[in-house]
Structure 1
Amino acid sequence: MKYPAVLPLADILPELDSFDTIIDVRSEGEFALDHVPGAINCPVLNNEERIRVGTLYKQVGSFEAKKVGAPIVAANIARHIETLFADKPREWKPLVYCWRGGNRSGSMALIFAKIGWPVVQLEGGYKAYRAGVSTALENPPEVDFRVICGTTGSGKSRLLETLERVGAQVLDLERLAAHRGSVLGHLPDAPQPTQKMFESQIWDKLRHFDPNRPVFVESESKKVGNLRVPDAVMARMRASPCIAVNLSRPNRVRLLMEDYEHFARDADALNGQLDHLVQLHGRAKIDAWHALANEGAMPELVDQLLVEHYDPAYLRSIDRNFTQYAQAQVLDLNDIAPEDFVAAAKALHAA
């Protein structure tokens, strides 16, 4: 094969995991919105440089823009080679892409090929990749979903994490979305990814699953925080066999106190989230919950939220949305210690 090789996504996908490094040469801003999973960002034009060259292109013309952009691109590529790739052997095989597979990735691929590396450039760039992901998620792989169901605080997320640790296949949508999937689900130390990044992560997980083994997933709603689960993936989940996790309400309160410790320490933040429930429960009820938060009566507040908000909402939706829930396998958890989740996960994984 002659290098640099310019290949379409269809030819690259079967070999995607074989590349030693996937290099996204777009600006850091473009990269942050979404990128091929596992890619590193090596901008040949950073945010400011891209704006400068792009403005020149629009206002003056392509020739003048290229004259200004070429030395910037060359200097940035040289710096990346010197700082990141100077120790790479001759057989190091990188995949390079930009927005549309044009000058930015073409410049880096050409220099890499001149050095002697077997570099591949993605034809059509990120735009082609994104189209491929969208198409794939419209008809996702036929994986054998097993849906973990249970009322809020029953340990579904902990069970998924434990299942993954014992070797089971898991699609943890809340972890991918950086959100716990409720009005209090925002994680204080992790902003949610973009919708495109969320979809990229789902696509990447799905393509790696063994279709002959079950994939455990939580009974999510269509939205996880601000992000939407792809329709076809959601449809597959909702038609799949279910596992109903049972945990006593006192233990659910204990678990939620642990998982939402940041709210237990910050009544103002908690009250701000509870205000989103005014339309459902009325101002008087929300004010009463505010008072409990302000008094530090968190276990009582959590118990009331379960009884009056979360449990009724769950019961209204689960039978309607998950068609096999009535025949769900029942999984009883006696406590919330790590060993309880390990025992449950091992039993499910071995089944």
Structure 2
Amino acid sequence: MTHRQPVRVSDLHTFDTIIDARSPSEFALDHIPGAINCPVLDDDERRIVGTLFKQTGAFEARRVGGAMVAANLAVHIRERFADRPANWRPAVYCWRGGMRSSSMVTWLRLVGWDAQQLAGGYKSFRHHVVAQINMLCPRLKLQVLCGATGSAKTRVLQELAARGEQVLDLEDFACHKGSLLGSLPGVAQPSQKRFETLVVSVLDNIDIGRTLYVEGESARIGRLAVPLPLVEHMRAAPCIEIAATPQARLAYLLQDYAYLGQDAAGLADKLGFLKQQQGTATVLRWQQWAQEGNLPSLFAELMTLHYDPHYQQSQSRHFSSWSQRRQIAADDLSAKGIAAVADAIQGTP
């Protein structure tokens, strides 16, 4: 077993396991990719210790908290780590590399495992995420996929990824389709920090010299902000436009957004946000169609009156190379048609 020494973020890949010793709610907010959560204090215990610290001082908080930490560590060693071999090497972190991770490392090392502590804890990892975004985004060899709503851009990205191309699927990480109706049923968006961690998990592992395909997103996807250095580089990158026919787009939208018909009231409520842009009479008609489950009429007018005019204006305004974009025609967005679009993209110089 080596001497106890602080570990840097860049060294984490050399360990067998990365252990997040923070509470479950902290872990859910964001964590190092691949880490497992083994709290030394759960959320209620952490709240109790924090209250004691404020009301009675550090000694009482440490006395009560220490007993809780010991009990939780005993459970982890007896149950969670029971099958770990003698040569197991875990790296442990908490919020700042303080007492929670230090306590766990001490006990694991007493058992005989070569446990080490991440210097600076999660905060040092967060600094790594921000630094990588700032450093790597301007160097990316991007190809930006554009296309009006319903052009199956995300499915094309998935097809390219399946073929071994490098892809950054921002909507997948954001758990949102990036439009007014883009929230996913029963799926909450991650925290901003988690979103950025997922982006960096891709950037840290790509070949910077190869093309990275990304969808031409706005600066926000739902309530999440796309990192500004990435937005700026996307705006200057070459664009490929999927020029799908209205008929193909409508067919795709009816399939891709079919779940909206299962919550007519919720769909009508979302459409209400468009009254200022589209006028009360138009939105009331759309809301009536939503209540009736008439998605074909609803999506056809949404395309014509809302999505398409906004798309034409925003693309030329946001993408500096828009006038030099390459267009790929598509009159079919079935699996076969998406494969044909991917074929054409891969043939792009």
TM-score grouping bracket, smaller chain normalisation: over 0.9
Taking the aligned partners of 1:350 and 1:69, their CA distance within structure 2 comes to 61
Q: Quote the residue 1:320 is aligned against.
A: 317
Q: Secondary structure at the match of 2:172?
A: helix
Taking the aligned partners of 1:167 and 1:139, their CA distance within structure 2 comes to 25
- In the alignment of these two chains, the number of paired residues is 347
**Residue by residue, what CA displacement relative to the aligned partner does 1:51-85 show, whole Å, maximum 9, x if unpaired?**
11111122112122111111211111121122222
Q: Kindly tell me: are residues 82 and 333 of structure 1, through their superposed partners in 2, closer, same or farther at Cα, counting changes over 3 Å?
A: farther
For 1:1-351, list aligned pairs within 5 A.
2-7=2-7, 9=8, 12-13=9-10, 15-141=11-137, 142-349=139-346, 351=348
* Amino acid of the structure 2 residue aligned with 1:25: A
Taking the aligned partners of 1:60 and 1:275, their CA distance within structure 2 comes to 52
TM-score normalised by the chain length of structure 2:
0.95
Q: Secondary structure at the match of 1:68?
A: helix
Q: Kindly tell me: are residues 76 and 293 of structure 1, through their superposed partners in 2, closer, same or farther at Cα, counting changes over 3 Å?
A: same
Contact 2:328 2:344 in 1 (8 A): no
**Residue by residue, what CA displacement relative to the aligned partner does 1:220-270 show, whole Å, maximum 9, x if unpaired?**
000000000011111111111111101111111111111111112322111
Q: Secondary structure at the match of 1:170?
A: strand
* Amino acid of the structure 2 residue aligned with 1:154: S
Instruction: Quote how far apart the aligned CAs of 1:158 are.
Output: 0.7
Q: Kindly tell me: are residues 118 and 332 of structure 1, through their superposed partners in 2, closer, same or farther at Cα, counting changes over 3 Å?
A: farther
Instruction: Quote how far apart the aligned CAs of 1:328 are.
Output: 1.5
Contact 1:166 1:346 in 2 (8 A): no
Instruction: Quote how far apart the aligned CAs of 1:294 are.
Output: 2.5
Taking the aligned partners of 2:267 and 2:38, their CA distance within structure 1 comes to 40
* Amino acid of the structure 2 residue aligned with 1:6: P
Taking the aligned partners of 2:256 and 2:122, their CA distance within structure 1 comes to 37
Taking the aligned partners of 1:44 and 1:101, their CA distance within structure 2 comes to 13
Contact 2:247 2:331 in 1 (8 A): no
Which has the larger displacement, 315-324 or 110-119?
110-119
Q: Secondary structure at the match of 1:148?
A: strand
Taking the aligned partners of 1:73 and 1:320, their CA distance within structure 2 comes to 56
What do you get for the CA RMSD once the two structures are aligned? 1.6
**Residue by residue, what CA displacement relative to the aligned partner does 1:149-208 show, whole Å, maximum 9, x if unpaired?**
000001101111111111111111111000000100000121000111111111111111
Taking the aligned partners of 2:75 and 2:204, their CA distance within structure 1 comes to 34
Instruction: Quote how far apart the aligned CAs of 1:115 are.
Output: 2.2
TM-score normalised by the chain length of structure 1:
0.94
Contact 1:156 1:218 in 2 (8 A): yes
Contact 1:96 1:120 in 2 (8 A): yes
Structure 2 residue ranges without an equivalent (≥5): none
Taking the aligned partners of 2:113 and 2:341, their CA distance within structure 1 comes to 49
Instruction: Quote how far apart the aligned CAs of 1:346 are.
Output: 4.3
Contact 2:19 2:91 in 1 (8 A): yes
Taking the aligned partners of 2:321 and 2:17, their CA distance within structure 1 comes to 43
Which has the larger displacement, 332-341 or 100-109?
332-341
Q: Secondary structure at the match of 2:241?
A: strand
Taking the aligned partners of 1:330 and 1:282, their CA distance within structure 2 comes to 33
Percent identical among aligned pairs is 44
Structure 1 residue ranges without an equivalent (≥5): none
Which has the larger displacement, 57-66 or 233-242?
57-66
Q: Secondary structure at the match of 1:332?
A: strand
Which has the larger displacement, 163-172 or 127-136?
127-136
**Residue by residue, what CA displacement relative to the aligned partner does 1:133-161 show, whole Å, maximum 9, x if unpaired?**
22332333412111000000011011111
Q: Secondary structure at the match of 2:204?
A: helix
